[in-house]
A and B are shown apart, each in its own frame.
Chain A
Amino acid sequence: DAKTTQPTSMDCAEGRAANLPCNHSTISGNEYVYWYRQIHSQGPQYIIHGLKNNETNEMASLIITEDRKSSTLILPHATLRDTAVYYCIVRGLNMDTGRRALTFGSGTRLQVQP
């Protein structure tokens, strides 16, 4: 799997946009970028994923650079409930099994401040 690099922690004011960066400079052409978040004592929650085009859903927007070496997850109006660990994952292909692995790193701890 392509390795991802994320800041360890970030703060954001409630009501403001939270922009979470992720570097994935070794991503290959057919690998998707996924974002999950995990609130304390819960399982990871799927947010969004994309290949090369920008994506938007009811939770967030995903901006992927043209060279695909980095991406940004945008929470447009952060609330206190968005405080969580956010994982950026590049989903690679296990050549032995054909399974596309989801390998988590350490993520970014986002603290939304009132």
Chain B
Amino acid sequence: DTGVSQDPRHKITKRGQNVTFRCDPISEHNRLYWYRQTLGQGPEFLTYFQNEAQLEKSRLLSDRFSAERPKGSFSTLEIQRTEQGDSAMYLCASSPYIGDNSPLHFGNGTRLTVT
């Protein structure tokens, strides 16, 4: 169990640029989640995949955001035309499908700074 891996750990970009983050979940975890966390707040849910199917998207996920999990393994989160308000920690989590209450295991996130 190598844990949930996220890349990069830090990203600094200029407003208007596109950025893409990658998440590698724990092997054989078929559920994958993206969260966003701003300073001083708890993580907020963005979207959820079961295998390759994106089953739920939060209203926080604007049209500039897109997430994919093409083969049901790793996932990418892309933000187009970044804005300063997108500056946050983007967290990925995974869980196995053993039942609805399997705990989520989080990665250490990608910290995005938009200048």
Contact = CB atoms under 8 A, between A and B. Distances in A.
A106 interface: yes
A49 B101 contact: yes
B48 interface: yes
Given A101-B45, A104-B43, A105-B42, A34 B55 contact: no
Interface residues of B, number: 23
A46 to B, nearest CB: 4
B44 to A, nearest CB: 7
Interface in A82-114: 87, 91, 93-94, 97, 99-107
B41 A106 contact: yes
Interface in B21-77: 33, 40-45, 48, 55-56
A36 to B, nearest CB: 8
Contacts of B111: 41
Given A43-B107, A43-B108, A106-B41, A100 B101 contact: yes
17 contacts: A42-B108, A42-B109, A43-B108, A44-B43, A44-B93, A46-B105, A49-B103, A91-B101, A93-B100, A97-B48, A99-B55, A102-B33, A102-B45, A104-B43, A104-B44, A105-B42, A107-B42
The 10 tightest CB contacts between A and B, nearest first, are A104-B42, A43-B106, A46-B103, A100-B100, A97-B56, A43-B108, A44-B106, A104-B43, A42-B108, A32-B101
